Chain A
């Protein structure tokens, strides 16, 4: 990129500068490191990015390898989607919050389900006691989904659903809601998280073991290819891996490795890479180390594009694009002095935007205490809008390209990820690593190191280990009490009482048969859902065939 004589000159001058630097004040800290624990040099210059083949490595937005962005116009053509994750209590309460957020400028919906729904239990199951509606919305049957989307035109809105193990069931419900609204499935747009591999690694919301889970996913991918072609079938996620304690490089590597696994599974299933690849999407964390995150997103695009093109032989450009959603880091928020979280979220969101995200969720400041209050949810929304309209960062594409530090970091994190890919292969692949607990151990080690750094004050968290205030004003928080559960029980009872139970029995039996054979499970689930079978009943129809997963103990 630069002429050799220029670089030699710079290197010489750099050495002189470092000599001169020694005469000035010494370092205030023994180590300067990113939040992932990597050392950061005092200065980056042209010598750090020398040897770049500009077009090969950095290139242009909308052109391979997409380091600078996947679209030609990026935010100048269309802003990222403001997509706030939301859901609480009963379907009615959630519907209310959705109307509020849409009225305040949110573009797309993102559904948060409660733990029983995420784990495949009905609200009246004994394991659901105390958990109904607490972390998200309770959904037992199609009736609940209808309530959630009441007054919302599915032809006009795209919806992301954060659901994994029972994802097929919730997608089937969404399709059925569309049917009731008169919207053909071909018109539906949205995303299912549906990334079961990261559940085993990080979020731990599983039901079935890995192999049958992947079958559910590949069935869904092929059903959608035929009937719901605008639907993003998997949101291959790094967010949760990061939240569990991973470093930026681990988040990047483990997420992309999961992605490669899904591609390989779909290929093994006989699907066409140029058909399914364009519907794979990603979901990353926006953590606090500003430049490290931006480098991570750029490296992600580059790695994925190269692999899809050269390793998996995808021919269409659309198959090479890494599209991603970003969420600001929940684990960076503090319970102490919660208003500080507004600033944390703002900076994190900015890094996501500068990294070229396609959609963004900003956390609310009170999420370390409860689900977001209306006021906090509004402020989170406004954070994005201020970045979008007032900061000017969207006026040009990938403004940080060419920064010596950012390009150097992008290369570095790409190399670290490649090293992890080699290690994963050496160990026998993603599924093997999950079974041995390799990812889980690496993540736990990083989490432990991070905690120790905080306790030794090698890392400062404002309000927690420095600038601590014992007397703080309280902020109002949202309360979900047991009345939500009571209401949900009543609704569920009503549905069970008014449906055709024979049809329910029959469709469930057909589903079990389908699962035993090689029919398309999503199709069979759709039949169950239409007659108001409950989520729990559907999962129970699959459990005897697929078994249940227990995690390997690992330390």
Chain B
């Protein structure tokens, strides 16, 4: 049986619209994931610290406020700095197509726009986690 998929969901920045991320949290739980939801108004530090401590497979953030070009890179860089480079960093929100492409180029694993289905997100995540090869020895 494959290991449980653990995902951290968070809202960075000041945006307080959490309808979407809560729907995704519920859908993930129903898909058998362990979801750590850290809530609103998270700083990149809080998100990355939590991600590392919880050893999540993926971090998902939702940004509807237009601050994505500041917040996504901040979180991505911090993840890399703190040893979380193999954590799948994904997200959603109000992000114009060109900026989505830009962010994905810099290392954001996947971005989902408005109207994305939870089924698609779950399928993508399962596939992406399975495709990841971890080479580590316990002892």
Chain A residues at the B interface, C-beta cutoff of 8 Å: 115-116, 118-119, 121, 127-131, 134-135, 203-205, 243-245, 331, 334-336, 368-370, 443-444, 447-448, 451, 454-455, 461, 464-465, 477, 480, 551, 553, 555
B107 within 8 Å of A (CB atoms) = no
B26 within 8 Å of A (CB atoms) = yes
Tell me what chain B mostly uses at the interface: helix, strand, loop, or mixed.
Answer: loop
Sorting the interface of chain B by its residue count into under 10, 10 to 19, 20 to 34 or 35 or more gives 20 to 34
B18 within 8 Å of A (CB atoms) = yes
Q: Mark B93-123, 1 if CB is under 8 A from A, else 0.
A: 0101000000000000000011101110000
A454 to B19, alpha carbons, bound, how many Å? 15
B7 within 8 Å of A (CB atoms) = no
Residues 1 to 38 of chain B near chain A (Cβ within 8 Å): 13-19, 22-23, 25-27, 37
Q: Which residues from A are CB-within-8-Å of B37?
A: 553, 555
A243 to B41, alpha carbons, bound, how many Å? 19
Contact B66 A134 (CB under 8 A): yes
A476 to B139, alpha carbons, bound, how many Å? 57
A444 to B22, alpha carbons, bound, how many Å? 7
B69 within 8 Å of A (CB atoms) = yes
Q: Which residues from B are CB-within-8-Å of A121?
A: 14
Contact B40 A204 (CB under 8 A): yes
Most chain B CB neighbours (cut-off 10 Å) among A134, A243, A245, A480: A134
Which 4 residue pairs are nearest across A and B when measured between Cβ atoms? A130-B70, A204-B16, A134-B66, A130-B67
Contact A368 B94 (CB under 8 A): yes
Chain A minimum-CB-distance residue to B22: A444
Evaluate whether A551 and B39 lie within 8 angstroms (CB atoms) in the complex, with A129-B70, A130-B70 already known.
yes
Evaluate whether A447 and B23 lie within 8 angstroms (CB atoms) in the complex, with A127-B14, A455-B117, A551-B39 already known.
yes
Evaluate whether A335 and B23 lie within 8 angstroms (CB atoms) in the complex, with A131-B14, A135-B65, A135-B66 already known.
no
B71 within 8 Å of A (CB atoms) = yes
Q: Which residues from A are CB-within-8-Å of B96?
A: 369-370, 477
Chain B minimum-CB-distance residue to A454: B117
Which one of A134, A204, A243, A443 lies within 8 Å of B65 (CB-CB)?
Answer: A134
A553 to B40, alpha carbons, bound, how many Å? 10
Evaluate whether A244 and B19 lie within 8 angstroms (CB atoms) in the complex, with A135-B66, A369-B94, A448-B26 already known.
yes
Chain B minimum-CB-distance residue to A246: B19
Chain B residues at the A interface, C-beta cutoff of 8 Å: 13-19, 22-23, 25-27, 37, 39-41, 43, 65-71, 94, 96, 113-115, 117-119
A323 to B23, alpha carbons, bound, how many Å? 33
A75 to B43, alpha carbons, bound, how many Å? 49
Q: Which residues from B are CB-within-8-Å of A551?
A: 39-40
Contact B115 A115 (CB under 8 A): no
Could you list 15 A-B pairs, sorted by A, with CB under 8 Å?
A: A127-B13, A129-B70, A130-B71, A204-B18, A205-B16, A334-B114, A335-B113, A335-B114, A368-B94, A370-B66, A444-B19, A444-B23, A447-B22, A455-B118, A551-B39
A118 to B13, alpha carbons, bound, how many Å? 13
Chain B minimum-CB-distance residue to A130: B70
Evaluate whether A116 and B14 lie within 8 angstroms (CB atoms) in the complex, with A130-B71, A134-B67, A448-B26 already known.
yes
> Apart from A334-B114, A447-B23, what 5 extra A-B contacts exist at CB < 8 Å?
A131-B65, A135-B66, A331-B19, A451-B118, A455-B117
Chain A minimum-CB-distance residue to B29: A555
Q: Which residues from B are CB-within-8-Å of A134?
A: 65-67
Q: How far is the CB of B91 from chain A (nearest CB, A)?
A: 14
A555 to B15, alpha carbons, bound, how many Å? 20
A218 to B37, alpha carbons, bound, how many Å? 35
Contact B115 A451 (CB under 8 A): no
Evaluate whether A553 and B39 lie within 8 angstroms (CB atoms) in the complex, with A115-B65, A204-B18, A447-B19 already known.
yes
Q: How far is the CB of B26 from chain A (nearest CB, A)?
A: 5
